[in-house]
Amino acid sequence: MATATYTIKQFGIVSVGKFFALFGLVWGFLMGFVVAVGVSSMGSVMGTHALGFAGGLVALCIMTIIGGVIGFIGGAVVAIIYNLVVEATGGVELDLEVKGQV
């Protein structure tokens, strides 16, 4: 198979931000679930299970949202830094395989 070399010269800041935001949402949901289980198990200590369940649900929602926001901001910062550094380094080269050619 033939290969072609391409160089990434610039990342779209919003595009990378959205990509990282999705990872942040998933990570925030997973960590929020862990915290929610811990908080909801505290219901018996707080005197009511409903309060523990509600606290766990709030923790899950907040951590998911915060994960998405921090993921977007982090991704945007990474794209900005890459775009600044690429001027000095020339970019990242990728060797891609060309399919369908004989």
Residue 99 lies in a domain: no
pLDDT on residue 75: 97
pLDDT on residue 46: 61
Residue 96 lies in a domain: no
pLDDT on residue 86: 92
pLDDT tens, residue order, the chain (102 aa): 678 889 999 999 999 999 999 999 999 999 988 888 887 777 666 666 777 777 788 888 999 999 999 999 999 999 999 999 998 888 889 998 888 765
The range of the structural domain enclosing residue 61 comes to 19-89
Domain count of the fold of the chain: 1
Angle at 35 between CA 31 and CA 41, to 5 degrees: 150
Taking the C-alpha atoms of residue 38 and residue 17, their distance in angstroms, rounded to an integer, is 31
Residue 77: both structure tokens together = 């910062």
Residue 14 lies in a domain: no
What pTM did the predictor assign? 0.78
User: Do the beta carbons of residue 56 and residue 25 sit within 8 Å?
Assistant: no
Residue 7 lies in a domain: no
Residue 35 lies in a domain: yes
Residue 8 lies in a domain: no
